[in-house]
Amino acid sequence: IKGETIVQFDENSKGSYPADLGARCEAWDDGHHPSCKEGEEPGIGNGWCAQKWCYVDSCNCDLPVLPGVSAYVPDARYRGRPVFFSY
């Protein structure tokens, strides 16, 4: 998918992600989130930056840890419900 998804973290901080953000389980934040860039903490490939995650259907998801509501796309809906993510 061509394009990008811009995620606004706060008034002064945003990140540019691939357009298919969350479509499959990958370390989406690595190199995209402001804290996941070279010289930052935890930095590229470290800590939560390296954790793989994806968007899931919370009604059809049997995971040991409950999925959380995505703050990255707060207005997005799937089948009328908020979008959830899982590690």
Find out whether 68 and 85 touch, Cβ atoms under 8 Å. Answer: yes
- For the chain, what is the total number of helices (H) and then of strands (E)? 0, 7
pLDDT digits (tens, 9 = 90+) for 36-61: 999 999 999 999 999 999 999 988 87
pLDDT digits (tens, 9 = 90+) for 8-35: 999 999 999 999 999 999 999 999 999 9
Q: pLDDT: is 4 or 63 the higher one?
A: 4
d(CA 58, CA 62): 8
Position 80 scores a pLDDT of 93
Position 29 scores a pLDDT of 98
SS3 label, residue 50: helix
